A and B are shown apart, each in its own frame.
Chain A
C-alpha cells in the first residue's frame, strides 16, 4: 500500500483485494453490540470538506469513530477555489496541529494529489472525491458490494471480479465515480461497459480500459451489475441532452429494462438517486437494488482503508482463527495487517 489513497488507478490488484478482505473483517464489527475497535486510538483524522457531501462525510466519520480515532470535521465550503491559498494554508494549519490523516473532498480535480505531493503536509491523504477526477473509496465500496453479491460473502475472500460484466450508465463525463470504477474494476478483472449519450462521454475515453456504448438495451442482457450514475438536472440547460424525458426514455432504468437483465444481476447507484429520471421507484426499491447495502459497505471499506494506511498498532479484529488463513499467498500475507510482526 502507498502512503496515500488518491486514485483507484494507484491500487494494484493485490492492494485492492487486501482492502476488500480487510473490509470483510471490519464488517463483522458492525454486527457486534459494541461497534468499536481500539485500533486508531490516539490518532487524529481530519475530514476536510471543501464541498458539501453529508453522506460521504458521515460515512468516513463513522469509520473513523469505529476505529477509535479522534475526529475533526472541517467544512470549508465556498472558500475553496476562489483563492488557492485556502487549501495550502488550511493544510499547514492541520499539519501544525499534528494531524495523522486528512480525508479530503474538493471541487477541484487534483486537489488531493497536490495536497499529498506538494510538501505542504506530512499526513496521510485520502481522497474523498475531487472534482470530476476520482473517488476511490466509492469504487472500493462498489467493488465490495459486487463481490459480496456476485461471488459470495465468504467465498469472495481473496478473490477479485474476474470476468464479471459491469455496466455504468449516465453522466460519465462529470463523474468521478465512473472514472474510479473503470480503473478499479479493470484492475480486479471485470469487463466494464460505459453507456451514455455521446455528449456525456469524455473526449479521450478510447484509451480507457472499457467499452463504450450508446445503447442501453443492447448491453443490459450481458450485464452482471448495472451501475446508474446521478444525472444533475442542470446538465439539461447546458444542452447535454434535449429533455429530461428523452434522457429517461433512452438511459433511464425502469422495470421493463430491469427485466432484460440476467436474473442474478444487481442494480447499483452511488446515491443520491433522482427517482423518475435515471431510475424508477420500482427499480430503486427492488431487492436487486443495492443502494442501502452500498452505504453500509462504505463504512467497512473506509475503516479498512484508514486501518491499512495508518498501519494501526493493534490487530483490527480479535480472531478465533488465524486470519492469515484467508490469505494463502505468501506475498499477500506479507502485506496483511494481521500478521504477528505488525502487532
Chain B
C-alpha cells in the first residue's frame, strides 16, 4: 500500500505535526517528516482526529433498503469522518441470530468504507419476552459484544436482569433504549409547555429517567455493565451522575441533535423534528452539554435514523421517528461543544472515538494518533462554515433537521486502515 504524508495537521487540536501513513499503519508522527514516495495531503490549519466511532447507527439493511443500505450508510459514515459504526438490530429480519449479524458484518467488510460492527438484539424479534441467542451472536464471525432492542425498551425487569447477567460471560454490554412503555403510549413529543399547547401526546422525561434508575440498580445488583442509549433529559444526567459516583458500571451517550435542538421546533409540525427520544427543552440541552463536558455522559452517538421522504412528508402523527446524523454529527459537536469552549478537540476525540470504541470493543479503533497504531484517521477543516444541503448527502435518506442551517466544520479526509475513503470531501 502506498504511503501518505499528512502535513502540518493539528493532531487532536494541538501543535501542527506531520503524520506518515504506511501500509495501513501510522509509521511516524513528528515535525518535518520526509515526503519521499508518499502522497502529500496539505493539512495546515486542519485538525486530525482518530477515525470517529458511532455506537448507534441504523443501517436498515436487511429489510428497509429503500431508506439505507450498508453501502450507502457506510459511505455516509465515511463522509462524516467515521471509520467504524455499530449497526442497530432493528432490521427486517431483526438481527437476533448469528446469521443476520454475520451478513451485516460481511457487507461492511466488502464495501470497505467503514467497519460495521453489528449490534445483536437482546430479545427475539425485539419483542421483550425471550432472550435472543446472545452467545451465538458473540461467537459468530461478527463477534457481537453490544446488545440492544433499540427502538424498543427492554421494559421487563426480569428479562433486563437476565440479559445483564448473561452477557457477563463474554464481556458484553446491554445498551438500553430507556422508555417506559406505558408512560409513553401515544407519545408524539416531549411532554411540557409545547405539547400542552400543540395538543400532541406527551413523552414525559420520567419515562426515560425511571428506566435508567431501574437499570443502573439492576447493573449494580448483578455486577454487570449497562449502556444508556441517547440520554435526553437533565434528570437522566443526574441519575447517571449518581450511579457513577456510587461506582456502578454505567456508560451513557447523547446524540448531536439533543445537544442542539429543542422541542420549540415542533411548533412547525414538521415531522423532520420527530425523533425518539423527543427533542427536549433548552434546560435539558444545557444539562446534556455540561454532562458531556464533565464526562457524566461518556460519548456522542448519532442515532442515525434514515427514513424515505414519504415517511416524513405527511402529518406529524403519521410520520416515522428519527433523523439522519452521520454526516452532520461532528459539525454539531463543534458548534455546541468546541466553539462554546466546553470541550477541546482532544475531548472530542475521546468522546467520539476512543470511548465509544472502548465501550463496544471495536478493535483497532479509537486509538491514539501515534506511531504503530492502525491508520484510522479523520481530518477536519474546523474553519469551514456552510449551510447544510441534504442533496449532497451520501446517505440514501434526507431526513435532516439541519437543512439550510449553517454549521461549522467539515470533514475533508477519512482513512480506514491507511486507505482513503474520503478525499477533499469526496468519497473514493
Contact = CB atoms under 8 A, between A and B. Distances in A.
A270 interface: no
A81 B318 contact: yes
Interface string A89-111: 00000000000000000111111
A108 B311 CA distance: 15
B123 to A, nearest CB: 27
B315 A84 contact: yes
Interface stretch (B5-13, B140-148, B194-202): B194-202
Contact of A204 (B194, B310, B313): B194
Contact of A176 (B192, B199, B315): B199
Contact of B316 (A82, A114, A176, A205): A114
A204 B318 contact: no
A84 B268 CA distance: 17
Interface extent on B, as a size class? 20 to 34
Given A84-B319, A204-B193, A109 B199 contact: yes
A22 interface: no
B170 interface: no
Given A203-B192, A204-B191, A204-B192, A133 B313 contact: no
B269 interface: yes
A179 B196 CA distance: 9
A111 B199 contact: no
Contacts, number: 88
Interface string B39-62: 000000000000000000000000
Contacts of B311: 84
B195 A204 contact: yes
A297 to B, nearest CB: 24
B199 A84 contact: no
Interface string B96-139: 00000000000000000000000000000000000000000000
Contact of A202 (B188, B202, B316, B317): B202
A217 B425 CA distance: 69
Interface string B288-313: 00000000000000000000001101
A208 B196 contact: yes
B38 interface: no
B60 to A, nearest CB: 19
Nearest to A84: B314
Interface string B301-342: 000000000110111111100000000000000000000000
| Residue from B191, B193, B314 having most chain A Cβ neighbours under 10 A | B314
A134 B192 contact: no
Contact of A83 (B199, B269, B318): B318
Given A85-B310, A203-B191, A109 B317 contact: yes
A138 to B, nearest CB: 14
A81 B198 CA distance: 17
Contacts of B199: 109, 130-134, 176, 179
| Residue from A114, A131, A205 having most chain B Cβ neighbours under 10 A | A114
Given A108-B318, A204-B195, 19 more contacts: A82-B318, A84-B310, A85-B314, A87-B315, A109-B198, A109-B269, A109-B317, A110-B198, A110-B317, A113-B269, A114-B316, A117-B268, A118-B313, A132-B200, A134-B199, A179-B199, A202-B196, A204-B193, A208-B196
User: Can you list the 9 inter-chain pairs with the closest CB atoms, starting with the nearest?
Assistant: A84-B314, A204-B196, A133-B199, A84-B318, A110-B269, A108-B317, A132-B199, A202-B196, A204-B193
26 contacts: A81-B317, A84-B310, A84-B315, A84-B319, A85-B310, A85-B314, A107-B317, A109-B199, A110-B269, A110-B317, A114-B314, A117-B269, A131-B317, A133-B199, A133-B200, A202-B195, A203-B196, A203-B202, A203-B204, A204-B192, A204-B195, A204-B196, A204-B202, A207-B196, A207-B197, A208-B196
